Amino acid sequence: MISRRDMLSGAGALAVVGFSSAARAWVGGGGSSGGAGSLRNLPLLDGELVTDPASLAQVAVDAGYSQTQTPLAVLRPGSVRDIQAMMVFCRKNRIAVAARGQGHTTFGQSLNQGGLIVEMASLSAVHEIGANFARVGAGLKWSELLPQTLALGLAPPALTGYLGLSIGGTLSVGGISSTNRAGAQVDNVRELEFVNGKGQLVRASRRKNRAQFNAVLAGLGQIGIITQATIELEPAPSFVRVYTIDYSDPRAFFADLRKILKRGEFEDCYNFGIPNGAGGWNYQLTLGKSFEPGAPPNGEQLLRGLTVPASTAAIQDLPFAQFALRVDMAIEFFRSIGLWEGVQHPWFDAFLPDRTVEKYVTEVTAGLTAEDVGPTGFLLLFPQKSSKFDRPLLRIPECDDWVFLFDILTAAPVPGFDANFDARMRARNRRLFDKARAAGGTRYPIGTLDFSQADWRRHYGDAWREFSALKSSNDPGNILTPGPGIF
């Protein structure tokens, strides 16, 4: 590794000093240049560039644990200038560059074989929290931001189920919440700062550089690496009362779900699905209603007119912070029993329109096996008000007032890579996606899916031409984020 301090002090004689364009490898102070005149000197850095096997291996896999792509080096930036300098350097040397937050996608979206990985964790400062906004470094995790905003009585309007994700990471993909009144996380951003593929630092918002703003948010890292974001905040509730109702009949579940959505009285509404042990499914309708001390919600009123009595609902009151971190606690439990790291997660994720969601979900769940879920897996269904989605690259189905994100969060039974399991799940996911697309659905690109460039062009539809033009102007070397295989 080498840093600006080491360079200026003369230390680090055996550290990386440059890149051999002939050997396509980093060169140490005492190493061969790989050919006369082929050594390109590394720019001075405030952070560090590392090439040791342990560091490379750590970023060679993601949460899916089915892809292994080893980069040439890892940049741990000490400043945004480091990212700019290395972007210029990598463009000259035809080295692909990808940012990594928490590596939570499952099919190599953040991986970069033979390229440079930029670890964003060092850019995790909270720069400013105002009355209704927070300006933060892109490497900050939502779970790190939330305690600071709650101390001021504030919270982001849309929070993903799992908060142990970087802010830049979810904004690059979309960021779907169990709250359906605020859109996705990309719909709650005021301003962005990003480094494009030419090494330029760009600031963009709805009013300034709007086209780039729209292409960075949910743009899968194709035109720039987000370094800073200004996100909306709103008053946070003190408590959430959680109602859970179990259904074995999908018709009753969907009938009650639609009643709940039409009324709009709950802030949170989603389905948690698990096998019922008898060959069917338990559709668990989960509803969240915020409240303040001394003013609890009226469950009989909120659950009126459903196919099941209100008294059948399980009720739990949680402080808002505990409610927001409920998935984080579950994942920590899986880690503690050795069923997270190294476990294959071939997730399937698709948006479905209201007109076809019931038929699709009912048919798909009827055909799933125990292997399709796994011992720590489950299904999710998030209803979302389509009018709240405003970012063009987060592709959702057209027409209906409501769209639904359907997730099959498959988990292998034990750690380790199983090639046959991987092949079966990839074939399953492609089959389910083709069925979803025929039903008017679209892909939410966090999961495991073999997707061609033709698929991507069809996915982006009428947004493709502008997206492609912005890619060409902001990343003319086509070095940014090769993992998704879009361009």
Domain C-terminal end among 184, 209, 235: 235
Q: How many other C-beta atoms lie within 10 A of the C-beta of residue 232?
A: 17
- In a domain, residue 456? The reply is no
Based on the fold, state whether residues 245 and 294 are members of the same structural domain. Answer: yes
The tens digit of pLDDT for each residue in 226-267 reads 999 999 999 999 999 999 999 999 999 999 999 999 999 999
If asked whether residues 106 and 137 sit together in one domain, one would say: no
Same domain, 32 and 71: yes
The neighbour count for residue 201, using CB atoms within 10 Å, is 16
Q: Say yes or no: 323 and 415 in one domain.
A: yes
Q: Which amino acid is at 369?
A: T
Cβ proximity of 104 and 63 under 8 Å: yes
Is residue 184 in some structural domain? yes
Task: Give the burial class of 459: count Cβ atoms within 10 A of its Cβ; 0-12 exposed, 13-18 middle, 19 or more buried.
Answer: middle
Question: 459 in a domain, yes or no?
Answer: no
List all residues 6 or more positions away from 431 whose beta carbon is below 8 Å from its beta carbon.
none
Can you give the residue range of the structural domain that contains 129? Answer: 123-235
Asked whether residue 169 falls in the same domain as residue 110, the answer is no
- Please indicate, yes or no, whether residues 12 and 46 belong to a single structural domain of this protein: yes
Closest CA to 210 of 472, 483, 466, 468: 466
pLDDT in tens, 429-465: 999 999 999 999 999 999 999 999 999 999 999 999 9
Domain count of the fold of the chain = 3
- 34 and 138 share one domain: no
Q: Which two tokens stand for residue 242?
A: 């959680």
177 shares its domain with 154: yes
Assign residue 216 the CATH number of its domain.
Answer: 3.30.465.10
Nearest to 393 by CA among 440, 443, 451, 448: 443
Tell me, yes or no, whether 142 and 113 share the same domain. Answer: no
27 contacts 16 by C-beta, under 8 angstroms: yes
pLDDT in the model for residue 13: 32
Query: What region, left, alpha or beta, does residue 56 occupy, with left being phi > 0 and alpha being psi -120 to 50 degrees?
Result: alpha
Residue 197 has which token pair? 């593929």
In the numeric block, which tokens belong to residue 328?
């984080």
Q: What's the pLDDT band for 38 if we cut at 50, 70, 90?
A: low
Q: 467 and 82 in contact (C-beta within 8 Å)? A: no
Q: Is the pLDDT at 201 greater than 70, yes or no?
A: yes
Predicted local distance difference test score (pLDDT) of residue 6: 44
Cβ–Cβ under 8 Å, residues 425 and 410: yes
Number of neighbours of residue 375 by Cβ within 10 angstroms: 12
Please count the other Cβ atoms lying within 10 Å of the Cβ belonging to residue 208: 11
Residues 192 and 285 in one domain: no
The sign of the dihedral angle between the CA atoms of 209, 213, 214, 220 is positive
Q: Are residues 221 and 318 in the same domain?
A: no
Eight-class DSSP state of 340:
S
Q: Looking at residue 429, which CATH number applies to its domain?
A: 3.40.462.10
Q: Are residues 377 and 274 in the same domain?
A: yes
| Confidence band, pLDDT 50/70/90 cuts, at residue 33 | very low
